[in-house]
Structure 1
Amino acid sequence: MIISLHRRFIITILALSMLLQSGCGFKDIDKRIFVLSIGIDHSDNDEKPYKITLKLAVPSGSIKETGTKYTYLTKESESIASAVRLLKSHVDKEIDFGHAKVIVFGEKILDHDMNEVIDFFVRRRDIQKMSWVAVGKPSAEAVLKAEPSSEKSGSHALFNFFDQDGVESVYIVSTYLFDFYRRMSEKGYDPILPVLSSSDNKKKIVVNNSILLANNKEPLKLSPEETKLYNVMANNNEKLNLTVKRDKLLFTVSIDASKTSYKIITKPKQRPVLKMNVSMKGVIEEANQPMNPAKLSTYDKYVSKDLEKQLTELLTKLQENDADPIGFGLRYQASKLHTEKTYKEWRQIYPELSFDVHVKVSIMSTGIVE
């Protein structure tokens, strides 16, 4: 009996609390318009430096209707928040950021304090921290307004570039908002962003470059090949091709499995060394000459030596530009007894660091050519 009264009391309290709740925060779906991506450019106006572009999906009245339907909102303001507030007066529906998965920065905005730029996005509770972050070329607005012919209504082509459900490419770097924010504030781990380039006719978007933001210096651009090598070292990408040329022999190896590990060795009175080991397995995908299966070990050495040289050159370039997108500095701090001087020690060590890269490529077969 006591238990029954207790349950009735709890049910009554819950019912009363539901009656007292306000319904003002809820809006029907037909009263909302969904943002798919957000673009931030510099407006060249010191009073209103931020130019915000929103790409919104226009709901279709019938499932039989085909074609891509979007609308765009653009506004310049002194802050991102005020621009968004002003844009709300441009549509007859509530702007919903819950589906916004891509944030694009124009190239010119990279010259400003990026901590200030992303502050709005990391504070807003309705913007996903799993959103992808990228750089737009020639501008974020141009990239957002590009509509590839393969883009379906209600979807967004940019999503397919980064979610690994569509395109799977070693030339694409995927950076999440939470990771970008972490790298901006973390010591010893620099942010890297993919570069989205739109064609002049706005019918194609290309993603095969990347850009580094390191220690408040000029952004460092990486070529497609350098971006591929970065993915090999940082992300253990498995689906990639390696092309080797020896005299008249030219062949390409398709890598199916890849693993990278490294350690930083510091000894008294000796130059610090970063030892990196890379192991790969694959098959020959293309060749300009017949490939002899008995010479697979020779082909292994060709690929391994070429890749060792390429990785060492990229590591040296990053070192010369004081850039660390792989997180060597973070690893060093984590492997040492942490003190206030640990990061200062790394800043002294990194310019003197030598690279010892060892690559072992195992070619399993010459393909299925008979």
Structure 2
Amino acid sequence: MPLVRGDGTAGAIVLLFPEGREGFVMKKTWRRKAALAGILLLLPLLSGCISNYKDIDRRMFVTAIGIDPGSGGKKFRVSLKLALPQGDPTKAQERVAVLSQEADSLSETLRLLKSRVEKELDYAHCKALIIGEEQARKDILHIMDWVVRRRDMQLILNVAVGSPTAEQVLKLKPSTEQIPSNSLILSLSRQGTESPFITSVFSYRLYRNLFEPGLDPVLTIIEARGKTGFIMDRMALFDKHRSRLTLNPDEARLFNLLERKNVQTNLPARYDGKLYEYYIETSKASYRLSTGDVGRPRLTYKVSIAGILEESSGEETMTQHLLERLARESEEKLEKQFEELLRKFRDSESDPLGWGLHYGARRFDNRNEMKDWKERLPDLEIKVKVKVQIKYSGMIR
């Protein structure tokens, strides 16, 4: 369209583009071509991944791993508990198999196990690692280093000690179990039962405690009973390599009362020759570590427990005075039991509650603080103060 100037002459419309517009368009086109070329180069790699994918009917899912010492000159015996997928998901019966193999290395045992099955072993659903009792007394550091390094094993494996062997624990078939290894997983993770004798330890936490100065790991012991039953009421305390100490059921319960809050359990109280049982509603424990530059170090624990009377073997009417007497009797007994347990930790130089970590966190000499703590630990003075409150005598309808 002609443009009329002020002098009456005709002109033309001139469109002015920003400077460098042509270069910008060419650069954008070049980027698109480069991106397209990159996609074309990646397509062969994607096709390779797809070709290596195995359908679910070509997989065997490993739900638990057990590790024991080998025999005949072999170092390890590894057992895998396998869940075999079913074609009909409505079937209630699950097919389970346990395979065992011995070799001089853990990696080699899995390679040999792959040669014994026709399907791919899948570890994505593996949720439990059981270390045999004999193997736990020898060494667990090698095992945990291997577990953490493998890319196909999760760091949230529930770890425990199997008695008498990990293989026997994996071969158990509880009548209440509907999913392979589900009874072990629900018990160890406390997602099912909340037992006062069980401590839940994931593989990442165990590996951390094996290297953390001033804090030693502790694991639940699973004892196989027959072919269908097990019991978890003991614990194994470790140093940085092996099991050093075993806690009986009473000690395991006391340890959990010190280690975490609101442990659901019952405790006995005796008065006038009669036995009473009270249920714990709330509980908590705290401690103070006094370690001056000179003198004997002192560890003071305070434990608070509140509960209700659950069982009585006498015929007396429950009064507030009687509840207070039961609480005082229970306090005296618990203080002695806690002090005996803590002295047992001190004398064995085991530290599952992290006293050494507490000591080192308040020092600035990183090179020598753990050495100083080990030298002062045998002289540690231990005192426990327990406060028990039995609030009411339960319900009688």
Deviation at 1:167, TM superposition (A): 0.8
> Whole-Å Cα distance in 1 between the matches of residues 31 and 87 of structure 2?
46
In 1, are the aligned partners of 2:138 and 2:242 still within 8 Å (CA)?
no
- What is the match of residue 219 of structure 1? 244
User: 1:324 — aligned with what?
Assistant: 351
User: What is the aligned partner in structure 1 of residue 124 from structure 2?
Assistant: 98
Shift in CA distance, 257/10, structure 1 to aligned 2, threshold 3 Å:
farther
Deviation at 1:166, TM superposition (A): 0.9
Task: Give 1:177-188 correspondences, 5 Å limit.
Answer: 177-188=203-214
> How many aligned positions are there?
368
Residue 382 (structure 2) aligned to one of 331, 352, 355: 355
Q: Does 1:257 align with 2:282?
A: yes
Q: Could you tell me which residue of structure 1 aligns to residue 188 of structure 2?
A: 162
Q: Distance in 2 between matches of 1:216 and 1:87?
A: 27
Contact 1:189/1:330 (CA < 8 Å) preserved in 2?
yes
Letter in 2 for 1:319: R
Measure, in 2, the Cα distance between the counterparts of 1:262 and 1:71: 47
Distance in 2, matches of 1:4 and 1:215, equals: 59
What is aligned with 1:118?
144
Amino-acid identity (%): 35
Does residue 1:81 correspond to 2:96, yes or no?
no
Distance 1:255 1:53 in 2: 39
Counterpart amino acid of residue 241 in structure 1: N
Residues 1:171 and 2:173 are matched in the alignment: no
How far apart are the structure 1 equivalents of 2:33 and 2:319? 83
> Secondary structure, in 3 states, of the residue corresponding to 2:115?
helix
Of 279-288 and 242-251, deviating more is 242-251
Alignment of 1:276-295 (within 5 A): 276-289=301-314, 290=316, 291-295=318-322
- Are the aligned partners of 2:141 and 2:210 in contact in 1 as well (CA < 8 Å)? yes
Task: For 1:231, give the aligned amino acid.
Answer: N
Equivalence for 1:131 = 157
Q: What is residue 228 of structure 1 aligned with on the other side?
A: 253
Structure 1 residue 172: Cα displacement: 0.9
Matches within 5 A, 1:61-80: 61-80=87-106
Separation in structure 2 between the aligned mates of residue 254 and residue 9 of structure 1, nearest angstrom: 73
Unpaired segments ≥5 residues, structure 1: none
Structure 1 position 139, deviation (Å): 0.6
Is there any run of 5+ residues in structure 2 with no aligned partner, and where? 1-23
The correspondence for 1:196, drawn from 202, 215, 222, is 222
- 1:327 and 1:195 map into 2 onto residues whose CA distance is 21
CA contact (8 A) 1:284 1:365 kept: yes
CA pair 105-11 structure 1, distance change in 2 beyond 3 A: same
Give 1:213's aligned amino acid: F
RMSD, matched Cα: 2.2
State whether residues 37 and 55 of structure 1, in contact with CA within 8 Å, keep that contact through their aligned partners in structure 2: yes
Q: From the superposition, tell whether residues 339 and 350 of structure 1 become closer, same or farther in structure 2 (CA, over 3 Å).
A: same
Instruction: Work out which of the two has the higher radius of gyration on C-alpha atoms and give 1 or 2.
Output: 2
Using the alignment, how far apart are the partners of 2:166 and 2:84 within structure 1?
20
| 1:246 pairs with 2:271 | yes
Instruction: Note if 1:310 corresponds to 2:337.
Output: yes
Which deviates further from its counterpart, 20-29 or 316-325?
20-29
Alignment-derived partner of residue 43 in structure 2 = 19
Deviation at 1:69, TM superposition (A): 1.6
| Partner SS, residue 365 of structure 1 | coil
The counterpart of 2:86, out of the listed 27, 52, 60, is 60
Name the CA distance, whole Å, in 1 between partners of 2:40 and 2:115. 36
